[in-house]
Chain A
Amino acid sequence: MVDFQGLYSKKVLEHVRHPRNLGEIKNPDGMATVGNRICGDVMRLYIKVEKKNGKEYIKEAKFQTLGCGAALATSSIITTMVKGKALDEAGKITDKAVAEALGGLPPVKFHCSVLAADALKKAIEDYRKKK
């Protein structure tokens, strides 16, 4: 089908059809739920953190999202971007980087990448608070 290709990149559609790291982490080290009050989308991000040589790494990241194609794809791809990354570095991932990793987003959907980057930052904050 060629539908929705006028709106979304191949990469976005690929993540919508086959989301990565979908689901819940039981007893996560960090978790955050963020919502966009305007459009109504909600994302929840879970992280598991491990320490190697005194440095903190994201061992596992999972997501659950109620939202449109862009919301699903941004939350899916951000879990792949952070897995195995040092916590400090992961926290620096920007909304722009998320959109770029998906081969771009339509302007009206930029806020979805903001939401995903926000969810990640808040999940890391949550981990640090709990520590």
Chain B
Amino acid sequence: MKRVYLDNAATTAVDPQVFQAMKPFFSKKYGNASEPHFWGQEARKAIDKARDQAASFLGCKSGEIVFTSCATESINLAHKGLLEALLQEFSNSKSQFSKKLHVITSSVEHKAVLESCRHLEKSGMAEVSYLPVDKFGMVKVADVEKAITPETILVSMMYVNNEVGTVEPIKEIGKLIKKINVSRITSRLSPIFFHTDATQAVQYLDCNVDKLGVDLLSLTGHKIYAPKGIGFLYQKKGTPLIRQQDGGDQEYRLRAGTENVPYIVALGQAIEKCSNVQNSKCSKKIEKLRDKLITNVLKIPGTKLTGHPTQRAPHIASFVIEGTEGEAILLHLSDKGIAASSGSACTSGLLQPSHVLTAMGIPAQWSHGSLRFSLGKDNTKQDIEYVAEILPVIIKKLRKMAPKGV
């Protein structure tokens, strides 16, 4: 049977070249990078190279990259680490903050952001504002500006939404924060730090940290053809952080634990390849295939595209399909060898519809039939044609099974 993988926003395959690069670091070059002998220094050099590759991709210094296990860990370190550091700083200096510190994020973030923000609230470290989005899932820069108070010390916004692909106005928010921070110097207020979860953006969008105006940026390897279990946090020099994992002095004392050398090497290789993908033939090809897929799915009556019509990442095509249920669609697609994803209540452990679709104002009976295809570099025109042939049959079948007039 033909098999078509269209769930690249969940995870990607490991690129053969990336796999090749990491292999020697299991059984041949297996040293502990903290040791001074040959084996250790060989590993150290490999980590340094990967750090340089990551830094060159972001346009930052190598010393600003902290390797972690994934984006979730990076996000937790960014949020909790920053708040802890600031609270410590302010308590020492008896600063102006008499009120609780304030964090701004959006209501469509990944759970890693939302849940670590809830932790900040629960532990009493900060108050958090969850900004609304428009019907396309986009945050308004004006809303960010309105939400900022003298107590605001962190804005955390995703670059690309993982469920609907909408590109958030990170550069514009970065500019706004820069402007506000200039005025804060004269009023002796702490600057606002800006974090972005760039997980779904890395492959396709400009991630130059100066252009984005971010102080912290999180990403993971397994969405960009590196293995699962490796990510990093960009920490602009001077951004206060307290490590969340105590132990040895690894990663500039920001993340204790023996470095995962093969995986770090893999991430270095994978991210170097990303700079070749952005605005390349490959990216254009994926965008074209995505548009072809969107055109074909929208031919099915009662379907709507979710997310922004133009400001969207090249790899995500997401829909709601009236009179169907997401998990049932996935099951039938899977029977035909096609992998996709859904935000329907039935596919979630909590039996609640996707918080992203709900925040976009999509009613529950529509998000019940949500479907996301996410493309990757290996997808072909034939893959899309296959989906275009199979999906309408499945939808028709499921609708026929449904009671009428409900």
A residues at B contact (CB < 8 Å): 1, 3-4, 13, 16-17, 19, 22, 33, 35, 38-44, 64-72, 108, 111
In the complex, chain B residues whose CB is within 8 Å of the CB of A33 = 403, 406
How far apart are the CA atoms of A37 and B252 in the complex, in Å? Answer: 51
In the bound complex, what is the Cα–Cα distance between A111 and B335 (angstroms)?
Answer: 25
Majority SS at the chain A contact face = mixed
Which of A1, A22, A66 is close to B335, meaning CB atoms less than 8 Å apart? Answer: A1
Q: Does B334 contact A (CB under 8 A)?
A: yes
Kindly list chain A residues whose C-beta atoms are within 8 Å of the C-beta of B185: none
Q: Within 8 Å of chain A (Cβ to Cβ): is B346?
A: yes
Q: For residue A112, which residue of chain B has the nearest CB? A: B346
Q: In the bound complex, what is the Cα–Cα distance between A45 and B365 (angstroms)?
A: 20
Residues on B lying within 8 angstroms of A by beta carbon are: 1, 323-328, 331, 334-335, 337, 339, 344-347, 349, 351-353, 364-365, 368, 398, 401-404, 406
CB < 8 Å A-B pair total? 80
Q: Provide the residues of chain B in CB contact with A35, threshold 8 Å.
A: 406
Residue of A nearest to B337 (CB): A1
B367 and chain A: residue at smallest CB distance: A40
Cβ B344 vs Cβ A22 within 8 A: no
> In the complex, what residues of A have CB within 8 A of residue B346's CB?
39-41, 67-68, 70-71
Whether A64 and B401, one on each chain, are in contact in the complex, defined by CB atoms closer than 8 angstroms, is yes
**Is A40 a contact partner of B327 (Cβ separation < 8 A)?**
no
B402 touches A42 (CB 8 A): yes
- Find B401's partner among A19, A38, A40 (CB 8 Å cutoff): A19
Residues in chain A near residue B368, CB distance under 8 A = 39-40, 66
In contact, A1 and B1 (Cβ under 8 angstroms): yes
The answer, among A42, A72, A108, A111, for a CB contact under 8 Å with B403, is A42
Is B337 in contact with A4, judged by CB distance below 8 angstroms?
no
A-B contacts, 10 listed (Cβ < 8 Å): A3-B331, A3-B339, A16-B331, A39-B351, A41-B325, A66-B403, A67-B328, A68-B344, A108-B349, A111-B351
Known: A69-B331, A108-B349. A44 touches B325 (CB 8 A): no
CA distance A25 to B363 in the complex (A): 31
Which of B334, B344, B352, B365 touches A1 (beta carbons < 8 Å)? B334
Contacts of A65 in B (CB 8 A): 401-403
Q: Is there an interface contact between B404 and A64, defined as CB atoms closer than 8 Å? A: yes
Interface contact A39-B402, CB-CB below 8 Å: no
With a cutoff of 8 Å between Cβ atoms, the chain B residues found around residue A13 in the complex are: 331
Report B115 CB to chain A, min CB distance, Å. Answer: 19
Residues on A with beta carbons closer than 8 Å to the beta carbon of B337:
1
10 smallest beta-carbon distances between A and B, as pairs: A68-B346, A44-B403, A66-B402, A68-B327, A64-B403, A3-B334, A40-B368, A39-B345, A39-B351, A42-B406
Query: B345 near A69 (CB under 8 angstroms)?
Result: no
A4 and B403 contact, Cβ closer than 8 Å, known pairs A38-B345, A68-B344: no
Nearest CB in chain A: distance from B386 CB, A: 15
Contacts of A69 in B (CB 8 A): 327-328, 331
Q: Which residues of B contact A42 (CB under 8 A)?
A: 402-403, 406
Which B-chain residue is minimally distant from A72 (CB atoms)? B328
- Residue in B1, B339, B401 whose Cβ sees the most chain A Cβ within 10 Å: B401
Residues of B within 8 A of A64 (CB): 401-404
Closest beta carbon of chain A to B90's beta carbon, Å: 43
How far does the alpha carbon of A67 sit from the alpha carbon of B353 in the complex, in Å? Answer: 13
The CA-CA distance from A13 to B327 in the complex, in Å, is 12
Determine the distance from Cα of A65 to Cα of B331 in the docked complex, in whole angstroms: 15
